[in-house]
Amino acid sequence: MNQSLVKVSIFTFACLALVQASEPEKINFESIHHDHPATVALLDEVNKKCPEITRLYNLSEPSVQGRELIVIEMTEEPGKHIIKKPEFKYIGNMHGNEVVGKEMLLRLIVYLCEEYIAGNNLVTYLLKHTRLHIMPTMNPDGWQKAYEEYKENGTVSWLNGRSNANGVDLNRNFPDLNNKVYAHEQSETGRNNHVMKMEKALELNSDLQPETRAVMKWLAEIGFVLSSNLHGGDLVANYPYDETRSGDSQDYTASPDDKTFVYLAKSYSYFHSKMADPTRKPCDRKSGDSFKDGITNGGAWYSVGRGMQDYNYLETNCFEITLELGCDKFPPEDRLESYWQDNAVALLNFMLQTHIGIKGVVSNSAGEPVANAEVKVTDFSTGDLVDHDVLSLQGGDYYRLLSDGSYQVTVGADGYHPSVKCVVVKNDMYVGSNDAKEAALLDFTLTPSTEAKPDDAEVSARCEQLQSKAGAESDVPEEVNDVESEEAKVMELTEAEERQVLQELLSYMDGRINWSSLSPNLALSDLYYALSVELGNLDPKTRLEFMRLLPTQMRQQLMSQQ
């Protein structure tokens, strides 16, 4: 427990230290609004400074006015997909007059390059285990239009430059897959993923803009796992679905992965210096939204049809959220540094979430990869199938983001018997963690349907055992092909041990009281109440990380106090 307390006490310091640049020779970065030539020049400078971890490429089509949609790839061994190494992307400036995201991504790119050279452990880990793709601007034409007004007036009107050069809002221009999947839900037929082939979508949607088409082709080419689309005009992490099922303008519309999306949204908001602050005033101080925990379901906020966020989820394996980074869409240059201080840790933390859940390789009994195998998940805490599958990639590798919990995973493909395994997921990927772990590894071998179906009685028995313990968590994600972990057994505390832990925690958090003398005279429920009061005094992200370090039974007791 002492080690856990040390982790908590150094958490804030560790986060702040991560955003401090190191000593090696720096890239010439200025906190300014970079026009398109300056953006390309900066990316080229980073590529020359860090050639071993970067690659520049353009999407398949330029913007309406001919500006290339440039992407920088950042990873060890760039230029190729590596099995079991997940793909991540950031997209900025989809709305041309919402510029903070673009500048934060440029600053992030420089930071990753410089800190990799300096030997920053977190950055090295991230680039070793993740393939990052960062596109600072999806709408350079809209940016240019907004910038012209900014140069002339020092401010930009609310909508000027939002759309592309054809006057089209790119976040209302993707194929509408929501209504298609909602119809599938009603009829209990049809696909729950990869709803429409990209070629068919391009054929049916003649109004698609070149920027939209380019992104659609990009998504079809690379097996992205996690993504965020950076916007401005408010301060919140927004998650699917964006378009309501009911057709109402505001209606909470949960996706099948609602629990995981909430987890992902909080992984940004809790690590942002202001986003989850309950005392923060809303952007519109008269009638603005106050977002609990700094997050919102898209449909609950306002319905958006044909958006990029929902398209990612319904057409690919990628989970995308939308980040609104501030009230001011086009702030003065002298405020950009403060935006970086607000967002730096959160940007890093969100990239780490590419490693939550499970991953593995699907192969056949001959050891050959099986592409397009369906990975289905049942959540033991509810007993329900999560009605959204992911597909294995060409190399047989798959990546399934999941929040903490116990799951049954079923993998199937045409011509093969399905294979079932069970897993306990306990995610430990966050900035400040000393025990960061990649996604739990869960490989599958499929037997051809022409052969006898393998005997899975032992696996079934163990899955039933896990299901009976639904709600319990393991400290280490692992296949339930093995016995229950000894570490998990150790964390089942006796009442005396539980009392001792509570006493230590309270002594640590409030040294003014002699808890060692007071504790024996109080009921356990009184000690839990006192601890819940102390936790309530912490900022949201520190409170979250503190809770994550506690044994399951203690977390459950604390939750009952709220």
In order of 148, 377, 455, 460, 470, the CA distances from 465 in angstroms are 64, 17, 18, 9, 9
What is the sign, positive or negative, of the torsion defined by CA atoms of 143, 341, 38, 308? negative
Strands (E), 256-413: 295-297, 319-326, 358-364, 374-379, 384-391, 397-400, 405-412
How far is 237 from 267, CA to CA, in rounded Å? 9
Put the strands of the sheet holding 295-297 in their side by side order: 54-58, 70-74, 131-135, 87-92, 224-231, 319-326, 234-239, 295-297
User: Is 23 among the residues known to form the active site?
Assistant: no
Judged by DSSP in three states, 79 sits in coil
Residue pair 411/446 in contact (Cβ under 8 Å)? The answer is: yes
Omega cis (within 30) before 241: yes
* Closest C-alpha to 412, from 430, 397, 433, 391: 391
Biggest CA-to-CA distance, the chain: 75
How far is 329 from 105, CA to CA, in rounded Å? 15
Amino acid code (one letter) for 113: C
Selected catalytic residue, list 324, 374, 478, 498: 324
How far is 298 from 322, CA to CA, in rounded Å? 9
What is the four-CA torsion angle of 504, 509, 515, 519, rounded to 10 degrees? -70
Give the catalytic positions in this structure.
324
